[in-house]
Amino acid sequence: MVAQNKDQCLKISQSISALIQKEKTTQERDKQKILIEGKQTTKLQADNRVVQQHLSDIRTVIVGASWAARSSAGNIILGEEAFEVDDSRTTVRCAIGRAKVHGRQLTVVDTPGWYYNSPLENTSEMDKLEIRSSVYLCPSGPHAILLTVPVATAFNKSYQTAVEEHMRLFGENVWNHTIVLFTRGDWLGNTTIEERMKTEEGRIEWLMEKCGNRYHVLNCKQHNNNTQVVELLEKIEKNGDGEQWLLLCSRTNE
């Protein structure tokens, strides 16, 4: 072959050979990367379609102390007067509200409240039963537990104890599915919720740590504020599978 080419040939040194091999390796790695990214994109698109189908039906349970605006919050979320609100009384039995909101079918369960500065032992057995049973009023379980905490009320040590003890009615796993709903947001004025969190000697920070820093501020006077409801629904959508949590909750209460 060299003779036919008039004694002309190309001599490849070891360095050039190494460069060629490196280029081949790089090209192969790039191909594998493209294949992997393509598979991941396809899986993500499929997962997104499943999530969108799953969360077209959103289920929540609202819990909290008496006069923490649980029923008012439920009415704002549903966009209608599904729950009775009366300053002279508080919810004594679980109630269910349903409505079509922003393209989603919502189920909201309102629950009896507890005295904000009173331990679990002072709550009646009937109220405990109602609170514990509330999650079963959502078909397949709730996507989120909305723990109402009014920003105008001091979150002192006794309040913290009451929250911690009453949330145990759902089992320890409840915190993985809890969003703190700061109600009566109009009381903040020019103060941000982050500034408000720093005023209770670390107790609100404790609450944030328990629920993975998931929270939302709701202005109970702005009933027609669709933005605050849409933002809350988006946070709930990221909260996980209600059916899986209901199964864990059932095992805890056995």
On the question of pLDDT at 223 being above 70, the answer is yes
- Counted domains in the chain: 1
Q: Which of 244, 8, 25, 243 is nearest to 138 (CA)?
A: 243
On the question of pLDDT at 41 being above 80, the answer is no
**Which residue range forms the structural domain that includes residue 197?**
57-252
Predicted confidence band of residue 52 (pLDDT cuts 50, 70, 90): very low
Residue 240: its pLDDT value, please?
59
> Is residue 246 situated within a structural domain?
yes
Predicted confidence band of residue 201 (pLDDT cuts 50, 70, 90): confident
> Is residue 198 situated within a structural domain?
yes
> Is residue 38 situated within a structural domain?
no
CA 157 to chain centre: 25
Kindly state the tokens that stand for 55: 């969360």
Residue 70: its pLDDT value, please?
93
Residue 129: its pLDDT value, please?
95
Which has the minimum average pLDDT: 33-47, 78-92, 119-133, 188-202?
A: 33-47
Residue 186: its pLDDT value, please?
87
Which has the higher per-residue pLDDT, 1 or 108? 108
> Is residue 49 situated within a structural domain?
no
On the question of pLDDT at 148 being above 90, the answer is yes
Q: Domain holding 125: CATH number?
A: 3.40.50.300
> Is residue 5 situated within a structural domain?
no
Highest mean pLDDT among 19-23, 167-171, 187-191, 223-227: 167-171
Which has the higher per-residue pLDDT, 27 or 113? 113
On the question of pLDDT at 110 being above 50, the answer is yes
Quick one: CA dihedral 22, 27, 31, 34, positive or negative? Answer: positive
Residue 46: its pLDDT value, please?
46
Contacts of 67 (CB under 8 A, 6+ apart): 90, 113, 116, 150
Which has the higher per-residue pLDDT, 252 or 123? 123
Question: Whole-structure pTM over 0.85, yes or no?
Answer: no
User: Which amino acid is located at 233 in the chain?
Assistant: L
Average pLDDT, rounded, for the chain: 82
> Is residue 43 situated within a structural domain?
no
- pLDDT average, residue stretch 9-30: 61
> Is residue 116 situated within a structural domain?
yes
> Is residue 236 situated within a structural domain?
yes
